[in-house]
Structure 1
Amino acid sequence: MLVAIHFCLVCQAQLKVQSLLTEDLHNPISVDATTPRFSWQITADKRNVMQTAYEIKVGSSGSNASVKDVLWDSGKIPSDESVYIPYKGSELKSGKRYFWQIKVWDNTGKASGWSEVAYWQMGLLSPTDWQAKWITPGFEESIEQPSPLFRKEFHLTKKIRSAIAYITAHGLYEARINGQRVGDAYLTPGWTSYNKRLQYQAYDVTGLLQEGNNAVGAVLGSGWYRGHVGYDPTPNLYGKDIALLFQMKITYTDGSTETVVSDDSWKSSTGGIRNSEIYYGETIDARKEQAGWSTASFDDKGWSGVKIGDFDKSVLIATQNEPVKQHEVFKPVRIFKTPKGEQVIDFGQNMVGWVKFKVIGKAGDTIRLSHAEVLDKPGDFYTANLRSARSQDMYVLNGKGEETFEPHFTWHGFRYVKVEGYPGELKPEDFTAITLYSDMKVMGTFTCSNPMINQLQHNIQWGQKGNFLDVPTDCPQRDERLGWTGDAQVFSRTASYNMNVHNFFAKWLKDVAADQYSSGSVPHVIPDVIKRKGSEPGGSTGWADVSTIVPWNMYLAYGDKRILQDQYSSMKKWVDYMQSKSKHNLWNTGDHFGDWLFYSVNDDNDGESAITSKYLIAQCFYAYSTTLLINAAQVLGKTDDITYYTELLAKIKKAYLKEYVTPNGLISSDTQTAYVLALQFDMLPEDLRQQAAERLAKNIKGYGNHLTTGFLGTPYICHVLSRFGYTDVAYKLLLQDTYPSWLYPVKMGATTIWERWDGIRPDGSFEAVSMNSFNHYSYGAIGDWMYRVVAGIDTKADGPGYKQIVIKPNPGGGFTYVSADYETNYGKVSSHWKIDGDNFLLDVEVPANTTATVYIPTKDSNTLMEGGKPVSGAGDIKVVGPEGGYVVVTVGSGVYHFSDAR
């Protein structure tokens, strides 16, 4: 059989440095890390390029080509590190902009030129840096809570060099300067544990200002702060007020500065947004709009003043994660009438966002848009699964020609939109669906020869897009949309392959720590909005373990020690909580969700429901979180903790064996999840593991090659099967297309991941309306196995962040090709394999400043060729030897073409 590995890498003219990032962001203008970190990528025109040294310069000014007024020159530092390198210069000042550039040396002694100059700007580091005052509406708010408008006019007499605006709110805000929207972020300031951490955003608004008269304005919505939010929707969770904080620093060309702030000189009123709620939708009455309200020429004599609010500024933090922005747009794929006679638009994709439309009609005409994910069995509009979420937008026309409707402070999960009250024919060109999600960079792609699997990957990606909306929500459509911890932890590794979620999770994990109870228990949802006085709704195994699992997964994906440093105390508190609830090292107390939504039947057939003991699961996750805490302690050098928790881990596993495992290795809950967790978390001694894997494979076969796992067992089942030699069984599970399986929803027409394996039953009926989301990403965790095992792209734990790459494809499932690309902090990694008759081809790309261990599916290294020459004679390729049906080689960066000419 002919085996080939072929690399395709765009040639570079020389050693270069590019993609300069500060705190993982490109030229950020509000950094509150007092020791910012720098990252960069290297490109070169040859193989095996490693960085051996670097030099960083930081200055207080600079051009595109060079840093000036140097504050810190690192000198030549011998190191191959090129991500998260800390600044080590003099103290940085609030609001000050700094410039930096980098040069590197490679392993042949060659130096790059100096890179182009990047910059960052410090945020407002102290509450005393805020001259602005919190302002609230000066009028008495009505029960409908129309969105307040705030405005202020000011006069500028000099030529402007730059202007930065810092804005936040109690509620949600959109700001305007001289009638132009400030920035392209939505649902700002985002969602955090507001009473402990409230983000502000910084905007470069230089281009919006002008010499002479200017005006600034902002409109606010209730949002998460005081809107109806929570599992049992409740208003005013963080406060009853709605408030604005605005500060803009203007620098003139002569070096002088001026500051415009929110204070008692501002005015307030209301406009067209009469009500806006996340769950219920937004109502706009265009007759009440105040045209030009944010321009300097507007007459605000009829407006009220404002009130000054005495709100805490010590909780203010700079935004470190990517904001929510608009992304893909969809036009209707069909417009039709349902059997009930309702006018419905199908946009072809279950998505998250809103609908924008154009209309001409009479003043007072009212249009209502209702949103739904699916149609029912007869083909009618279906919203029962939204529970109390009305998910309706309303627009009242002003009758002044063509009008455009677009919401501001709500969003919907939908594919279908029911339109009522529209004056005239519904035309595709007049309606556009706009998606909203956090502006995370796409990092990975996965395609293969099986169209159903490609659709599954599509669904996984769209489940992530729709639910990564500033926090990792469970679902985007019903009266929930909360940061459920269990969903986030099971999907976090898959999420890191699809998109860059480093900053997204770093931000959210700080809220995990902030809302963690003093006992160490972790709430079910973050931010914690379901806690009631005297209660601690948390501590569920597999959910609260988010505090250990996600930090470790982010460390593996990005190699960022600071995430472990920031979260270590939280990790430790959670493990200590479990220990405090255990007796004789056995944790068998508390309320747990268990293997949520596992396969269950509603009849008396003995053994068909795959019920796994919740306490057995708890003991497994107790061990796993302890293991991850030990791992983090090793990375951070916490030797005392390593010793203590290693001894504890041995006791936890011993208690598990005593309580749940017979001497012959039968686990008391004889289910797929029980064996999966035991094997994934190494709960069994070595001599019992293979027989446990055999029991797992037999169980799967007994269910007709179907999985029976729920939220906690599903992410690991295929990994366990592959680890113990049952990759063929894992492929059978992946390719199964009858319930329960990953492909059953695909076969039923899904365009996102469902909450339940059978959200729509084969006969077209629905699961219980109380809990039946059609955009719920948890089961999409299979994507991790597709990237790491099917395509074979992984990182070594002792070379995290893909500094030391593993490429180990596992052909199977009848696939004739698989192509996966992944953009790491160092550059792109690729693994493309193809079966062509008797030939196996593998294309791999390895970025500079990394190494890769490549596993080639062949048994004989003697016939393995590279570039037409024997590998054994290649100086830049090391043959490690055969291993389990592979020939293992180690390579550096570059382009390689291997072939086995047997």
Structure 2
Amino acid sequence: MGALTVERVTCEYRTNPLGLSAAQPRLSWQLRSDRRGTLQRAYRIVVAAGEDCYEDPLWDSGRTESDQSIQVPYDGPGLSSRTRYYYRVKVWDNHGRESEWSETAWWEMGLLDHSEWSAQWITPEAGAIDPQEEAAFLLRRGFELHGGAIASARIYATAAGVYELYVNGERVSDELLVPGWTSYPNRLQYQTYDVTGLLQTGRNVAGIRLGDGWYKSGMGFEGKNFKYGDRRAALLQLHVRYTDGREEVIGTDGTWTAATGGIRYSTIYHGETYDARLEPAGWSTAEPSAMDGGWKPVEVLDLRLDTLVAQENSPVRVTERLRPVSAFVTPAGDHVLDLGQNMVGRMRFEVTAPAGTRIVLRHAEVLDKDGNIYFGNLRPAKQTVEYICRGGEAESYAPHFSFMGFRYVKVEGFPGQENGLPLEAFTGEVMHSDMEPAGEFDCSNELVNQLQRNIQWGQRGNFLDVPTDCPQRDERLGWTGDAQVFIGTALFNYQGGPFFTKWLRDLKAEQLPDGGVPFVIPDVVGGASSAAWGDAAVICPWTVYRYYDDRRLLAEQYDSMQAWVEYIRAQGENEYLWNTGFHFGDWLALDAKENSYIGATPKELVATAYYAHSTRLLRDSATVLGYEDDARRYGELHQGIVRAFREEFVTATGRIASPTQTAHVLALMFDLVDDRVKPRVAKDLNDLIAENGYHLSTGFVGTPYLCFALSNSGYHDTAVKLLLQESYPGWLYSVSKGATTIWEHWDSIKPDGSFWSDDMNSFNHYAYGAIGEWMYRRVAGLDMDDAVPAYKRVRIEPLFGGRKLTHARAAHRSLYGRVETGWRMDGEEIEVHVEIPANTTAEVVLKGASLAALKEGGADTAASEGVESAVGTEQGARLVVGSGTYRFRYRAADLFRVTYTLETTIQDLLEDEAAERALRKHIPHLMDSPMLNFAKNNSLRQLSENGMSRVKKEQVLAVLQELAG
């Protein structure tokens, strides 16, 4: 009997989560097997009230015949607040094996009812400390514990603002900027902390440091404070349980005291000022001297408790630390640190200096063409940290309640900096929502590998509690359009289930009564709804479902999805077109008119295309959820929109009426033209790109789908050429200019070193990083079956990469386990390796493979364990395999070799009439050969139809000579 084990047992996406509110938490697990083709046939879950109570469980699923190993809901008796539940899992597989029990895991419930909050919201008394005081507040209370040995202690806490929590002088958690940014009038997260080890018998002290955060800072373009409220406040409730079963509750109330401390100023956009001389020593400890310094009374505020929800998102933490790579003096005379990476977070430094020494850090993303640090693109945001030393001993400091987007730091006032800044004194602390890394990609082109790193760094920098557009200037808002175009790439690279669950609940909470969706979530901007932005209400829940089989979130968001589609239906002059209202259109497209940010693709075309797309996804969601009437109704609406689109935007001869790349991309990707017309539309798109020197002209709307539209239509070589384009505009242009994140504009830095503008020029703007999804799914070939979510049925189909890409690899840590594929071309030899996790299967399509000659692990493929079926096709081989690791190797069939050779020779096309004539002369003969009968959309057909006019003569003649031989 081989080994079958249950691993990585999780609850609601997390390992041992503390403070849940879900009435039926969902459990997931992964299988590890030493045999290929392993599938789960049954499972058993046991949930108990104690770690040693499985003999008398709270719930025992019994042996349940099912292959479901993710998102399995607890189905036992009702759960109680503040209670920990232990569970374990075992499984049976298709090889007749029974696993051992998994290791014990647990989840713990939070406060499940608002009536359980006995604590009160508190803030400093207005007569004692000005409510508009810029300094952060310190709140504290001492209390005695004499009930005996402490079994457990939990704090439930939140703030109108942001807070740090201390018990007996110790930080309770490494979480930052809690409670995060939500739709505060509707939803405010509270956090749960285990403080058992921090309490002691006798005297104890709880302390809260309270800042403005998103709640009271001037978020948005107007810079106005008090969007949510004009007074900071804190709420804390401590539950102590003694070993004899007794409990004690201590909460915020009028007995607490208040003061101000070292933080004199702190906001999201502008940074923080800290005077270490003013920080009361030991203020959160039980030392008697901690009360020195004029502590003031607090008052109770009448803020709501019914909006409180348990923490949903992964909290913000420091996830990495970077040392500066260099320090230098600019031509302007500034002392500057270079972190070597455009990052988001804060600088920590250590210093020993006399009391009153003032150190100032100003943060920026780039240097100008003269080598001076550049602050222009920050707009009013200051991104400045000021620290005033206490003196007398070594001091360490990093901002508490602000974050910056930066690579370079201008330093003023650091002791001895005239002799050079000491690199060892400074550390960049990278901050973002602490999502588990999930995706990997690399290939033979190092510039593309850097692009992948830039994509991931851009996500890390902008997924700081909400999916912001940029992390540095006076914006940092949850733009819906950016989120929806990038979510596929985002969920491949990081485990984003909790992140998007929280954000989508805010979107639903802030959706307008007529179904419209604000431009940013949480909404501090207002404004009407726009196509491709408001569509986040539909696209994002559907994509989360696709990645994680999260039907609960899909059902929860369904009303919001439906409301958005019905909003659109009410906007147009008829129910099938959206041709009214404001739209961002193809934002920042390069075919925009002078002095316009909106591309040339008609906004009505963009709006109607997205109307069709969201309606289809709503139909599909209704089908998944079993809403049959809705599925039928929205299926009919979708058909009507498609008909209207064709009548309005497609000519009688099958051309897209708007001659833009984006118009053709949307028509292809959203299936808005019928199969008869698609080849012509795809050819026209390819021609538009070729005529533009193999450069794109798309903006936010067209760019994410551009390479998909090409690859799906048989023009993968053109898509690869776009990816590898190093000149402006192209993804590798910014890489060639030294970018370490994704830019907002294709030419944020122009070839001459000047900047696009000061007005709107972020160097960390993830939207164009959406190309990553195509790299993973088409270049590496790692995808999931359209009909089965969460990589339960994997689809492996590498399209290979032409002459300039000789290998590529992608891996993703799905809920079922690690999925990986990679390919390598060595002359005419192709090797493809595949890793499929237990309890899943995969369809593997190997382009150019002859089934008879295909080897797996050195043996005949058909005889390999785990290969369920194998058939030959005109284009190669198609296999169905079970779980396990496979290595396929084959010599490209003649047909594939001919096609691939031709594809690789047209990468660098030059005008040469003689070469064109030679190519035209020989292609008809090739097209008539039996081995090319299938070629309806491959590169040979494209060459014949296009009459390629830019081919190196010597290359073409060499290929033709080889073919003739």
- What's the TM-score, normalizing by structure 1? 0.96
Is contact 1:731–1:812 with CA below 8 Å preserved after alignment? yes
2:4 to 7, 15, 30: 15
Cα deviation, 1:317-358, whole Å, max 9, x if unaligned, reads: 001221000011111111111111111111110000011112
User: Counterpart in 1 of 2:898?
Assistant: none
CA–CA separation in structure 2 for the residues paired with 1:18 and 1:419: 48
- Say which is worse superposed, 92-101 or 861-870, in terms of deviation: 861-870
The one of 359, 366, 370 equivalent to 1:367 is 359
- Verify: 1:383 aligned to 2:383, yes or no: no
Please state if 1:752 is matched with 2:741.
yes
Check 1:600–1:686 CA distance in 2 against 1; reply closer, same or farther (3 A cut). Answer: closer
Of 479, 488, 493, the residue aligned with 2:488 is 493
Paired residues for 1:263-662 under 5 Å: 263-299=253-289, 300=291, 302-425=294-417, 426-531=421-526, 537-584=527-574, 585-600=576-591, 611-662=600-651
Percent identity of the aligned residues? 49
Q: How far did residue 869 of structure 1 move?
A: 3.4
Matched, 1:864 2:850: no
CA contact (8 A) 2:586 2:599 kept: no
Distance 1:298 1:790 in 2: 66
Residue 872 of structure 2 is matched in structure 1 by 882
Q: Could you tell me whether the CA contact under 8 Å between 1:610 and 1:672 is conserved in 2?
A: no
- Cα distance change of structure 1 residues 603 and 102 upon mapping to structure 2, 3 Å threshold: closer
- Aligned residue number for residue 141 of structure 1: 130
Tell me, in whole angstroms, the C-alpha distance in 2 between the residues paired with 1:881 and 1:413: 52
Query: SS at 2:451's partner residue?
Result: helix
Task: Find the aligned partners of 1:619 and 1:602 in 2 and give their Cα distance.
Answer: 22
Moved more, 766-775 or 663-672: 663-672
For residue 79 of structure 1, the aligned residue among 37, 42, 66 is: 66
The 1:857/1:39 distance shift into structure 2, 3 A limit, reads: same
Deviation at residue 361 of structure 1 after TM alignment: 2.3
- Mapped partners of 2:381, 2:133: distance in 1: 17
Paired letter, 2:879: V
Q: State the AA in 1 paired with 2:502.
A: K
Q: Using CA pairs under 8 Å that are at least 6 residues apart, name the structure with larger relative contact order, 1 or 2.
A: 1
Shift of 1:144: 4.3
Deviations 1:199-245 (A, max 9, x none): 00111111111222111101011001011111222211110111111
Specify which of 677, 681, 692 is matched with residue 692 of structure 1: 681
**Following TM superposition, by how much is the alpha carbon of 1:645 offset from its aligned partner in structure 2, in angstroms?**
1.0
The reply to whether residue 251 of structure 1 matches residue 241 of structure 2 is yes
Matched residue of 1:398: which SS? coil
Q: Name the CA distance, whole Å, in 2 between partners of 1:296 and 1:324.
A: 29
Contact 2:587 2:597 (C-alpha < 8 Å) held by counterparts: no
Partner of 1:394: helix, strand, or coil?
A: strand
Q: Is the contact between residue 313 and residue 498 of structure 2 (CA under 8 Å) also seen in structure 1?
A: yes
| Distance in 2, Cα, partners of 1:45 & 1:342 | 60
Counterpart of 2:425, as a letter, is D
Alignment correspondent of 1:70: 57
Distance in 1 between the 2:874 and 2:617 partners? 28
Provide the rounded CA distance (Å) in 1 between the counterparts of 2:512 and 2:212. Answer: 27
Question: CA offsets per residue over residues 450-471 of structure 1, 9 Å max, x none?
Answer: 1100000010000000000010
Counterpart Cα distance in 1 of 2:357 and 2:11 = 51
Partner secondary structure for residue 188 of structure 1: coil
Distance in 1 between residues matched to 2:404 and 2:191, nearest whole Å: 24
**In 2, Cα distance between equivalents of 1:884 and 1:152:** 77
Whole-angstrom distance in 1 between the partners of 2:519 and 2:873:
43
Aligned to 1:120: 107
Find the aligned partners of 2:854 and 2:299 in 1 and give their Cα distance.
78
Q: Deviations over 1:842-866 (max 9, x none)?
A: 1110000000001122342122233
- Contact kept, 8 Å, 2:593 with 2:600, in 1: the verdict is no
Instruction: Give how far 1:608 is off.
Output: 15
Contact 2:831 2:890 in 1 (8 A): no
Give 1:601 deviation, angstroms.
Answer: 7.0
**Unaligned segments of structure 2, at least 5 residues:** 894-965
Q: Give the 3 Å change call, closer, same or farther, for CA 603–645 of structure 1 in structure 2.
A: closer
Which secondary structure state, in structure 1, belongs to the residue aligned with residue 280 of structure 2? coil
Q: CA deviation at 1:638?
A: 0.6
Offset at residue 778 of structure 1 (A)? 0.1
Query: What letter corresponds to residue 748 of structure 1 in structure 2?
Result: K
1:770–1:867 Cα change, 3 Å: closer
Larger radius of gyration: 2
Unaligned regions of 5+ residues in structure 1, if any? 1-11, 532-536
Q: Cα offset for 1:554?
A: 1.0
Residues 544, 884 of structure 1: CA spacing in aligned structure 2 closer, same or farther, 3 A cutoff? farther
- Which is worse superposed, 487-496 or 293-302? 293-302
Q: Is the 8 A contact 2:593 2:599 kept in 1?
A: no
Structure number with higher helix proportion: 2
Mapping of 1:813-824 within 5 angstroms?
813=802, 814-824=804-814
1:68 shift after superposition: 5.0
Q: 1:600·1:608 contact (CA, 8 Å) conserved in 2?
A: no
1:716-746 CA-to-partner distances (Å, cap 9, x unmatched) read 0111101110000000000001111101000
SS at match of 2:176: coil
Shift, 1:610, TM fit = 5.9
Q: CA deviation at 1:155?
A: 1.6
Total equivalences in the alignment: 882
Residues 511, 526 of structure 1: 8 Å contact kept: yes
- Letter of the structure 1 residue corresponding to residue 32 of structure 2: T
What amino acid maps onto 2:508 in structure 1? A
Residue 761 of structure 2 corresponds to residue 772 of structure 1: yes
Question: What amino acid is the match of 1:23?
Answer: E
8 Å CA contact retained: 2:37, 2:883: yes
Q: 1:136·1:242 contact (CA, 8 Å) conserved in 2?
A: yes
CA contact (8 A) 1:880 1:889 kept: yes
What code does the residue aligned with 1:103 have? K
The match for 2:949 is: none
8 Å Cα contact 1:292/1:298 also seen in 2: no
In 1: Cα distance, 2:35 partner to 2:670 partner:
41
Distance of 1:554 and 1:33 partners within structure 2: 18
Partner of 1:811: 800
One-letter code aligned to 2:722: L
1:221 counterpart = 2:216:
no
Q: Is the 8 A contact 1:60 1:68 kept in 2?
A: no
More displaced, 437-446 or 576-585?
576-585
Q: State the 1:530 CA deviation.
A: 1.0
Distance 2:783 2:645 in 1: 30
SS in 1 for 2:296: coil
- The answer (yes or no) to whether the contact 1:61–1:68 under 8 Å persists in 2 is no
- The structural deviation recorded for 1:430 is 0.8
Residues in 2 aligned to 1:635 and 1:601: alpha-carbon distance in whole angstroms: 40
Q: State the Cα deviation string for residues 404-435 of structure 1 (Å, max 9, x = none).
A: 22100000000001111223222111111111
Asked whether the 8 Å contact 2:443–2:808 carries over to 1, the reply is yes
Kindly state the Cα deviation for residue 603 of structure 1 after the two structures are TM-superposed: 6.7
